[in-house]
Structure 1
Amino acid sequence: MASGVPSVKKKMEDPASEEGAISLPNPHLEKIKEDFLYHFALGTATHDFPALFGDVKFVCVGGSPSRMKNFISFIAEDLGIGSPSCDHPNICAGTDRYAMYKAGPVLSVSHGMGIPSIAIMLHELIKLLHYAKCSNVIMVRIGTSGGIGLEPGSVVITKQAVDATFKPQFEQMILGKPVIRSTVLDKGLAEELMECGKELNQFNTVTGNTMCTLDFYEGQARLDGAICSYSEEEKLEYLKSAYEAGVRNVEMESSVFAAMCSLSGLRGAVVCVTLLDRLEGDQIITPHEVLKEYQTRPQKLVGHLIKKHHGKQ
């Protein structure tokens, strides 16, 4: 099995319960002697998870593999445990589904686009952290979004992940029945991140609700998809009602991220930069170099948080 970490044939033991430990609310896992995390190409029978990941305290996830590789290089240099020339191998090189990089206590993982993709990744990532006996882990999604009533380049720290009706919930069909889960994020962590934004004082940082949708086009009230069933007036009315409900940005992963962090006992936060103001248009026409700089802003904010926590350890 190809991967960026050495294979060690070692049977996993049940992690001892401790404060801040990762919870797995699935009794069926107790019957599995060897768990193969298929989409990571990592398994408990072939890899020593505590040795490889037991020191992880911070997990940052984002859509693009290249962005997450850039982040691990950035944070390694920021923490003084690597340089820009250091090569950080893809731990999940045995698959092309997701990419994973590690530098000291920081794990950086790509999740693709949309709720289904990030949900699959999170199931396996949460199991990995549990099998590694990690504790007191902070999990942050860093990414891009469409802003509502904000100047492009603003960074939004999510207060609540809400659905398309502005309710703080994630609804999933399980066994043919709707199951609704809370999307509560760690309030203290959001406040810490806002304080980091003030300390950096490099870009506009705000808190607000984040609307999570199932689609990039009609689901986000865009007018430029292949299909559109509403008028421009109806679009603007909807987005303005979202703003009045406290929504400041729109993306496609935050609700399931919040729900799964909450169920697993992880302190979770969502930090996304806005690439445009949706009240002003639908297409991203900002120059590429400006967009590249925008995308570094969540990394800088979360990096500042990690550096502060790391210095206390």
Structure 2
Amino acid sequence: VPRESRGAKTKEKGNSDCSIRLLNPNIATMKEDVLYHFSLSTGTHDFPAMFGEVKFVCVGGSPRRMKAFSSYVAQELGLERPGVDHPNICAGTDRYAMYKVGPVLCVSHGMGIPSIAIMLHELIKLLYHAGCCNVTIIRIGTSGGIGLEPGSVVITQQAVDACFKPEFEQIVLGKRVVRSTQLDDQLAQELMRCSKELEEFPTVVGNTMCTLDFYEGQGRLDGAVCTYTEKDKQEYLRAAYAAGIRNIEMESSVFAAMCGACGLQGAAAVVCVTLLNRLDGDQINSPHEVLMEYQQRPQRLVGYFIKKCLTKA
């Protein structure tokens, strides 16, 4: 559940009561901070007025999916405006899309670690400049399952790399920097309780493997390059299962690492649906309508969670 406030809400930058922190002293000395990939700037936009009420941030790969989620949340929270769409706040760029529905901000992040990392840098700065406090941030998306039926939802306990290590490695100025990818267990368990209350689809809490590639990096046999056998693939995936890994995607490790570095570790979660069981094959071949229903499952779970939290508040 969203953390309790540590003090009165303020819109002053750098306020110690605010949950959001930046590990960058340079920001405080800048007269203007341009969030280039959002087409937003502190010099031209009033961030506290635009985003100060945000308590929940939901991010996902597809702009279309996040627009659909914003409409779903608006309906669930009774914030629909007949005949009026929630506008794309990032309409000045084609890189990301952003929709705000009351206290909920919905942002697309593209595919893979580089794309979501860029988005997260600017999103976290946006929340900081807006003076947002006690924010819960959740990635909702799709994934490949390991040992699960297609359509199962996985709530990530820990994000791990392709060697099953709970860490995110990045090269900064030629040096190896490693950050933890631990996520908040209390939030994961609350989401699991919400799924049990919904009773709409199978849900598990498990580790999520984050890879740098969709094909070789995930042990697929159907890419343009493949230098291993079906046996090699099966051994690797079964070892992953034994390590507690239940799904594979391409964003969770940097998501967990950056949220942890900026004071959001205790309010960050990853909720992904599995589109297939990778032990049974590599290609996603379910009918379109089935895949569309699968993709709505994390949205329904997170929407229910948000509504429940706001009802309690």
Question: Which of the five TM-score ranges fits, normalised by the shorter chain?
Answer: over 0.9
Q: Deviations over 1:155-200 (max 9, x none)?
A: 0000000000101000001111111100011111101000001000
Deviation at 1:28, TM superposition (A): 1.3
Q: Distance in 2 between matches of 1:260 and 1:86?
A: 35
Segments of structure 1 that go 5 or more residues without pairing to the other structure are 1-11
Partner of 2:124: 126
Partner of 2:311: 311
- Counterpart selection for 2:235 from 234, 237, 241: 237
Aligned 8 A contact 2:157 2:185 in 1:
yes
Partner of 1:219: 217
Q: How many residues align?
A: 301
Q: Distance in 2 between matches of 1:84 and 1:229?
A: 55
Partner of 1:186: 184
Question: For residues 77-92 of structure 1, what are the structure 2 equivalents within 5 Å?
Answer: 77-82=75-80, 85-92=83-90
Q: Deviations over 1:213-247 (max 9, x none)?
A: 00000000000000001011000000000000000
Aligned 8 A contact 1:73 1:83 in 2:
no
Q: Distance in 2 between matches of 1:255 and 1:16?
A: 28
Deviation at 1:312, TM superposition (A): 2.1
Deviation at 1:15, TM superposition (A): 4.2
Partner of 1:60: 58
Q: Distance in 1 between matches of 2:241 and 2:12?
A: 49
Aligned 8 A contact 2:12 2:131 in 1:
no
Change (3 A) 1:15 1:82: farther
Q: Cα RMSD (Å) of the superposition? A: 1.1
- Counterpart selection for 1:163 from 161, 164, 167: 161
Q: Percent identity, please.
A: 71
Partner of 2:268: 268
Partner of 2:3: none
Q: Distance in 1 between matches of 2:169 and 2:81?
A: 43
Q: Deviations over 1:119-142 (max 9, x none)?
A: 000000000000000000000000
Q: Distance in 2 between matches of 1:83 and 1:183?
A: 39
- Counterpart selection for 2:174 from 159, 173, 176: 176
Deviation at 1:300, TM superposition (A): 0.4
| Runs of at least 4 residues off by over 3 Å | 83-86
3-state DSSP class of the match of 1:135?
coil
Change (3 A) 1:85 1:247: farther
Aligned 8 A contact 1:77 1:84 in 2:
no
Deviation at 1:29, TM superposition (A): 1.1
3-state DSSP class of the match of 1:39?
helix
